[in-house]
Amino acid sequence: MTALKFNITLPRYIDEGERDPFRRTYEYARFAEDLGYHAGFVGHHSFTPETRDPSAPFVLLSAIAARTERLRLGTGIYLAALHHPVSVCEQVSTLDQISNGRAILGVGVGYRTYEFEGLNVPFEERGRRVDETLQILKRAWTTGRYSADGPIFRIPDLAVYPPCVQRPHPPIYVGGTSPGALRRAARLGDTWFSLPMETLEYVRRLADTYRAECAAAGTTPRICLMREAWVSRDRASIENDWLERALAFHKYYWETGTRGDESDPVLRRIGAGERVGLEEFATDRAFAGTPEFVIDEIRRWHEAIGFDEVCLIFATGKEMVHEANLRRTIETFAHEVMPAFAE
């Protein structure tokens, strides 16, 4: 088994009224960097305060980049269909400059109609817009020139500024589980970014489809597995600090339309408001338990799917998890789980 890279989602601590309101967010990113995590990701939504995902993620990531040195920084994911490809290109390039080549662009099509209505973007065009955007970005970063005459975007032959540090361009992670998303990841992305809702068997089937699409496109498959996680030697800590948040997280996304495998009986019960126990919920779904259990689960998932990276979601739920507990679990994971996958 080759060495795995472990990424982490970055919580947004915002202390309104303070002189430096994002101070704890920056400190958390530096803490994750010092622990050896490979990359930190933030999500993206507009008009959606309950998720705390930034509407301008590249602004936040640039601030984090200025305060870190090694941690790669990416969007997980950015709703590229909502914005013009030149704007996306310039923002990612600027982040890559500020971070000295640490930017990752994770993209997806989105599913919340109000975001498209709010930005006057046709919802039914979102897939085509992302496809065309990725084609434009890759060509622009590779050649240094914009030039597009597509059905949606028309851009004159103009210079790309600023250029990216990474060559030929920052890594492009494409998220989603639909046939179109898997095809997009294979043909236009560098890595498929999975979602955290589906069970092992369901993700295995998606990975098989993605690899088949890569074979058809003549590209090399690469997978970043997104999973919820919590590590502790105390079962009560896992239930109190993580389980309730994880259940609320899945219920919220079930209600808003991101359901993963809609036939999953456990998810259906959670969506209906039923409380599910730790073992029943975590089995084949999350990396939650003692360090030894989590190591075994990661190995089992890797044998089934063969992923290259893991993006861990520790801070689930609408309300921020207690900072000391969050720091404790990511430190335990780094010290007691990650070394098992160093080679």
Q: Is 121 left (phi over 0), alpha (psi -120 to 50) or beta?
A: beta
Give the helix, strand, coil percentages of the chain, each rounded to 5: 50, 15, 35
| Least confident interval from 14-18, 110-114, 165-169, 312-316 | 312-316
Q: Is residue 280 part of a domain?
A: no
| Residue 174 Cα distances to 27, 58, 103, 214, 247, angstroms | 28, 17, 14, 13, 26
Q: Is residue 282 part of a domain?
A: no
SS (H, E, C) 122-148: CHHHHHHHHHHHHHHHHHHHHHCEEEE
Closest CA to 56 of 67, 69, 47: 47
Closest CA to 40 of 100, 82, 93, 102: 102
CB-based contacts of 218, cutoff 8 Å, min separation 6 = none
Q: What is the pLDDT of residue 181?
A: 96
Q: Is residue 256 part of a domain?
A: no
SS3 at position 15:
coil
What are the tens digits of pLDDT across the range 84-94? 999 999 999 99
What are the tens digits of pLDDT across the range 222-279? 999 999 999 998 888 888 888 888 888 778 777 776 656 677 888 888 888 888 888 8
| Alpha helices in 18-120, H assignment, sequence order | 23-35, 57-65, 85-98, 113-118
CA terminus-to-terminus distance, the chain: 7
Q: Is residue 277 part of a domain?
A: no
What are the tens digits of pLDDT across the range 48-61? 988 889 999 999 99
Which tops the pLDDT comparison, 319 or 142?
Answer: 142
Report the alpha-carbon distance of residue 181 to residue 192 in Å, rounded: 9
How many domains is the chain partitioned into structurally?
1
Q: Is residue 318 part of a domain?
A: yes
User: What average pLDDT is seen over the chain?
Assistant: 92
Report the alpha-carbon distance of residue 189 to residue 338 in Å, rounded: 27
Q: Is residue 192 part of a domain?
A: yes
What range defines the domain where residue 17 resides? Answer: 5-245+289-341
What are the tens digits of pLDDT across the range 289-329? 999 999 999 999 999 999 999 999 997 655 566 788 899 99
Residue 140: CA atoms inside 13 Å, Cβ hemisphere, count?
Answer: 28
Q: Is residue 56 part of a domain?
A: yes
SS3 at position 21:
coil
What are the tens digits of pLDDT across the range 95-113? 999 999 999 999 999 999 9
Specify whether the CB–CB gap between 188 and 138 falls below 8 A: yes
Q: Is residue 221 part of a domain?
A: yes
Q: ω into residue 168 within 30 of 0, thus cis?
A: yes
Give me the CATH number covering residue 52.
Answer: 3.20.20.30
Q: What is the pLDDT of residue 253?
A: 74
